[in-house]
Amino acid sequence: MSISYEGQVAIVTGAGNGLGRSHALELAKRGAKVVINDLGGARDGSGGSSAAADEVVALIQKNGGEAFAHGANVAKFDEVQDMVQQTMDKWGRVDILINNAGILRDKTFAKMEIADFQLVMDVHVMGTVNCTKAVWQIMRDQDYGRIVMTTSSSGMYGNFGQANYGAAKMAVLGFMNTLVIEGAKNNIKVNALAPTAATRMTEDLMPQPVLDMLTLEAVTAGALTLCHKDSPNRFILCAGAGGYASTRLFETEGTYLAPEDQTPEGVLANFDEISDTSKQCEYQAGSGQGEKFLGKAMAFLKSQATAEA
């Protein structure tokens, strides 16, 4: 099956360099009209320049595509709103949003300033929220939307020196999980990409031979899988060096403890059963957990009533 984006409009944040640039170029190559969002700052978020975004626009136009650049700081909602309004004025719709913009301010938590934690959260979390909020009603009104969050193994599994980045990248998954539920009736699908690629964010973390294997194109193939019309929903796709996998959150079946055993000692004594993965399941909403626990409690009460009868 050939994947095409003809007639669709996409916004890609952080699209002046690295993965965002790669995503934008491939979307345009496959027919999408693309907004190239990039503040043009350094890896730590400082500074700003339109040069990188303008270069991507020029390249798309040279190849016969349509694109324009916008330097909105994704952490500022009014600037994001302006970008989306310009998109609507020019093309009349928004089909795809790829939340890719990000910065790094790596330090161990002991040495990290709170300001560095806050800024990373503002860009990754509130940047994602701001862009998604700005297009959400548009997608609802047109009964179509595809949104890609960018998460990270640093959030899902942890990484030394990245408490701020890891917290932010896990937060966007919680955001995704609720948007999936709320967007379902309007054909809005929300997925997450966990990339490993050679970019400004990783260039000094790995040796060159390893970086050479971590191509941008391999990750972009995953990104475009998550935002086409037949995309999955609520899917975390991990991509890097030509490898692809999914990460999913499961919960064990667990156990029920009688009221007299609902103590720290009782919980500890039943840890093997609590941790048993043989009957684990994936919930599609937080209510599933509550329903399971209430079901176990009601079954206990029923068994007691039967025993006393």
Q: Output the domain CATH number for residue 88.
A: 3.40.50.720
Tokens describing residue 199: 């970019």
pLDDT in tens, 189-234: 999 999 987 655 556 666 677 778 889 999 999 999 999 999 999 9
15 and 122, same domain (yes or no): yes
| Phi, psi of 118, rounded to the nearest 5 degrees | -65, -40
Q: Do 131 and 267 fall within a single domain?
A: no
45 & 148 share domain: yes
**Total domains in the fold of the chain:** 2
Residue 214 lies in a domain: yes
Please provide residue 130's backbone torsions phi and psi, each rounded to the nearest 5 degrees. -60, -45
At 262, give phi and psi (nearest 5°).
Answer: -85, 70
286 lies in a domain? yes
Residue 251 domain flag: no
Average pLDDT rounded to a whole number, residues 142-165 = 97
Confidence band of 309 (pLDDT split at 50, 70, 90):
confident
Residue 91: per-residue pLDDT? 98
Structural domain that includes position 155: 9-246
Q: Is 191 helix (H, G, I), strand (E, B) or coil?
A: strand
208 and 267 in a single domain? The answer is: no
Query: Rounded to whole angstroms, what are the CA distances from 146 to 23, 96, 143, 230?
Result: 14, 5, 11, 10
Question: What is the model's pTM?
Answer: 0.93
Assess contact for 76 and 130: CB atoms under 8 A: yes
Judge whether 252 lies within some domain.
no
How much is the mean pLDDT over the chain?
Answer: 94
| Active site annotation includes 283 | no
In a shared domain, residues 235 and 271? no
Mean of pLDDT values over 45-65: 88
- Within a domain: residue 253? no
H or E stretch covering 170: helix 163-183
pLDDT of the residue at 199: 56
Clarify whether residues 98 and 122 are in a common domain. Answer: yes
292 and 176 together in one domain: no
Residue 155 tokens, joined = 């959030």
Q: Is residue 281 part of a domain?
A: yes
Q: Give Cβ neighbours of residue 68 (< 8 Å, ≥ 6 apart).
A: 35, 36, 57, 86, 90
Residue in the block written with tokens 């409009």: 9
129 & 183 share domain: yes
Written as six digits, the tokens of 66 are 């349509």
Identify which of 153, 148, 172 has the alpha carbon closest to the alpha carbon of residue 226.
Answer: 148
Residue 13 scores a pLDDT above 70: yes
From 144, 157, 165, 283, the catalytic residue: 165
State yes or no: pLDDT of 141 exceeds 90. Answer: yes
Q: Is residue 130 in some structural domain?
A: yes
Boundary of a domain, candidates 196, 212, 246: 246
